[in-house]
Amino acid sequence: MYLHRVYSEVTLMAEQALQAGPDWRRGSVTNDGVRLATFHLGDESNPTVLLVHGWPDTHHLWTHIAPRLAEKYHVVAYDCRGFGESDRPRGVKPYRLSELADDLFAVAEEVSPDAPVHVVGHDWGSVQAWEAVSRPRARTRIASFVSVSGPNLDHLGQLLHDGVSHPTPRHLRTIAAQSVSSSYTGLFQLPVLPNLLLTAMGAPAAWKRFLHAVEGTPPENVVVADTLRRDMISGLALYRANIRQKLRRPNARITTVPVLQVVNERDIALRPAIYENTPTYASKLWRRDTPTGHWLPYTHPDYLTDTILDFLAAQSDTSPTPASVERARVFTEPRPLAGKLVVITGAGSGIGRETALALAERGCELILADLRPETAEQTAQACKLAGATAHPYELDVADTEAFVAFAEEVRDRHGVPDIVVNNAGIAVAGGALDATDEQLDRLFGVNLRGVITGSREFGRQMVERGVGGHIVNISSAAAFTPSRSLGLYSSSKAGVLLFSESLRAELAEHRIGVTAICPGIVDTAIVSSTPIAGLDPETEKSQRDRLNSFYQRRGFTPDRVAAEIVSAIEHNKAVVPVTPEAKIGYRIYRFAPWLSRIGARRKVAG
């Protein structure tokens, strides 16, 4: 009983300490008669980072982020008007974005009178910061801007107008999807009902349960002010003062302030497609897409902090630009998968090479590994011609120790990959009884153990980082097409298929997708190098030449497989039979396996 009481008291003290947040130094700034409560951390001689919260938060939103930023920067957060310890003007007009942007400049000039500030905004904090960076005044007062889960309403309004005046299927889908996600903003325009609902939700415990239910936000990470219920209701003025006005009469302007746009693909309120016209109005734009939700400062504070620190470092003339920022640069328009870090094994030829080229065209940075370093270098050069950054490596995927070291080197030099394609593979044809032990060991070392090692090593890195990812394992139609001439190869690829399906279930809770790609007859170099067990050298060469000729006549090229791989990543598919015979064989094995067994008796080679 005594121990239980002590434990409860310690737990309560820990929660109270978290709720209190960092040891802020308090201050205030007044703009046009409105007092804004400010909170400071770090050495004031360092460059200033200004943190701007959204609805229904206060400066407490930055509890997990501010202390780490303060190790290098002077950090200032403030409670926006209508929230927390700041004044709450009556009516709707005082909450227009023009007034909020004036507040931001007033705080910036007070806390950093001699140098521009770096701004980080979340939700409505980002919305009002967009208004600020779109003004000419921002050129001398704002050094950079990190936008998290908050669009520029003028950009959004212009996107809506363009969709109405020149409708396309893509525009219409974007408008329809965002209308569903934003339906709550219509409710917020009503006079009485939202006040009643928010009064019920305004208890801190209820709000934490809501965030946990809709986004899986850890309740212990959510830090709210005692004024939460009042903040929710007074903050409705943000929606009433700005949404209709901006969507009806947008005034989209160009900003020259360096902007990093953090796009959360699982944002319950904002669809990623609404940011597609941002490059039109931001001349220095970076974009980072991750499978995360709206309240990133609570769900993944370390990831967001690292992202902010990397971007701030890139704005310095004395520090090298971090690789994560280099690959996030947007020059024209955002592309699917742009800025992702990709590892591909067996990248020197065939499917691996074509997949690298396809992802290079989408703006990925590529780590290209192959047993033959000269072919990896050739693929890297081809990717660079496509405008991508590519790094060649020599790797034998069957050497587990070397593969582990390679994964560690990738993490240390380039970062945790977003996508891994375990493509390296070999084949052995002929009867299982005729194959040598050396052939057997090499086959399973490359095809199965190599895939498992790559999935495990990089999968662990993705889990530790905590913001998802995708693993693609190249299996084969042979995985579900038994054959007397390919039994060993089929079993290695069947292992890849079932391992991938199992790993997909294991990693689902971490938002890491796993795909098994199952090509059929594809014209690659693997056939010309396939040993056929049980044959003398002359007969083996004749059989191999015959098979190679057949594959070439078949004419299904590896770039078509690469296109399926890219689609599988974008749509998080589980199993993808690629060629027509693979799709047919997959269904036969599932619904009429006896046909597969009959077909297995036919000799293909050997």
Virtual torsion, Cα 484, 489, 495, 500, nearest 10 deg? -120
Inter-axis angle of helices 153-165 and 169-181, to 10 degrees?
130
> Do β-strands 74-78 and 34-41 pair in parallel, antiparallel, or remain unpaired?
antiparallel
Among the listed residues 604, 557, 577, the one whose alpha carbon sits nearest the alpha carbon of residue 428: 604
Among the listed residues 574, 67, 487, 136, the one whose alpha carbon sits nearest the alpha carbon of residue 308: 67
What is the C-alpha to C-alpha distance for residues 419 and 462, in angstroms, rounded to an integer? 9
Q: Phi, psi (5° rounding) for residue 162?
A: -65, -40
What is the C-alpha to C-alpha distance for residues 437 and 428, in angstroms, rounded to an integer? 12
Within 8 A by CB and 6+ apart from 181, the residues are: 267, 268, 269, 270, 271
Among the listed residues 195, 250, 227, 186, the one whose alpha carbon sits nearest the alpha carbon of residue 57: 227
What is the C-alpha to C-alpha distance for residues 473 and 142, in angstroms, rounded to an integer? 45
What is the C-alpha to C-alpha distance for residues 86 and 516, in angstroms, rounded to an integer? 54
The sign of the CA dihedral 169, 175, 179, 181 is positive
Within 8 A by CB and 6+ apart from 426, the residues are: 442, 443, 446, 447, 526, 529, 530
What is the C-alpha to C-alpha distance for residues 92 and 95, in angstroms, rounded to an integer? 6
Q: Which residue has the tokens 């089929």?
A: 490
What is the C-alpha to C-alpha distance for residues 233 and 237, in angstroms, rounded to an integer? 8
Inter-residue contact 141 to 105 (CB < 8 Å): yes
DSSP state of 2: H
Return the percent helix, strand and coil in the chain, to nearest 5.
Answer: 50, 15, 35
What is the C-alpha to C-alpha distance for residues 285 and 332, in angstroms, rounded to an integer? 9
Active site residues: 489
Per DSSP, what are the bridge partners of residue 290?
A: 264
Inter-residue contact 198 to 228 (CB < 8 Å): no
DSSP state of 424: -
Length of the chain: 606
Element (H, E) at 18: helix 2-20
The SS3 of residue 11 is helix
Residue 128 to residues 97, 100, 120, 279, 605: CA-CA distances in angstroms?
6, 6, 11, 18, 68
What is the C-alpha to C-alpha distance for residues 74 and 60, in angstroms, rounded to an integer? 17
Among the listed residues 326, 319, 312, the one whose alpha carbon sits nearest the alpha carbon of residue 70: 312
The SS3 of residue 394 is strand
Virtual torsion, Cα 489, 440, 565, 369, nearest 10 deg? -160
* CA angle 7–13–17, rounded 5-degree value: 145
